[in-house]
Structure 1
Amino acid sequence: MIGPGTGVAPFMGFMEHRHFMKEKRPAEQTFGKMWLFYGCRHKERDFLYRDRINSFFQEGILSKLTIAFSRDEDDVSGPKCRYVQDLMRTHKKELADLVMNQEAVIYVCGDANGMAKQVMEAWTEILCEYTGKSIFEVSVLLATLREEERYLQDIWT
């Protein structure tokens, strides 16, 4: 799940649903991995749902949590990791493996003109490097993922 800013809102519903199902029938519930790439400008001012997201991570509802704060100088992700797409590149091998070998589903939510386009470019780079395929071949692969509903976008302008 990749959703900076208010783009995280739909993913809160996914996590709330898993939390509810886990509480309702804990012995019967098994879930796949759920990894959130979240970004905002400032940790102290803009980190929407901070406590709830952290509790989902602590409970194991959320398998991995990767966050970028684009305007904070003391951001531990480093100066080259200011946005979600930068963080994706730092985890490129694991992400590519999830998509290519584990049938992961990619959800992107946010701004169409900036973030969603840059996230698509990051996926293209990551999958080109991982597969050794050309940009055209990876574009076809990404189109196939969309057709299979494994690359889903909720984006706006």
Structure 2
Amino acid sequence: MGAAFFYHLTESPLEEALPLLLGKALDAGWRIEVRGTDTDRLKELDTKLWGGADDGFLPHGVEGGKHDARQPILLTSSHNRKNNPTCVVAVHGAKIAPEEVEGLERAMVVFDATIGDEIQQAREQWKALTGAGCTAQYWAQEGHRWVKKAES
């Protein structure tokens, strides 16, 4: 069974933090689905990922292209798992089901408490996943690095 990692953005916006997290996931050899709830915001992420971490390219696509199944990183607002991911990253309040976590290397919930009700959604997601027996860790940015704050 995989684990769910919760990443609380406290110092940088999603557009800056996500490329770094995705780069590490690619380095681990994982195929990644970035699951959002708003196609316009996913398009903004798509534009940002063309630059990637340290201005490097992160290979990716947006769902609806010819080669969705071949994308190492696929941005989507669905739960279709078209690229057979081993890591699902939920952004913008998207959900990951406990049964999904079991089949993944890693599930990530990335949230920014300054945006809408993302912190409440993350808390509900934590309760749902840990209540179903999933292992979870909570990380927050501190001094421009990630610090583990809780584990279940």
Please give the range of the TM-score, normalised by the shorter of the 2 chains.
Answer: 0.3 to 0.5
Structure with the greater relative contact order (CA < 8 A, sep ≥ 6): 1 or 2? 2
Structure (1 or 2) with the larger CA radius of gyration: 1
Instruction: Point out the structure with the larger helix share.
Output: 1
TM-score, structure 1 length as denominator? 0.43
TM-score, structure 2 length as denominator? 0.44
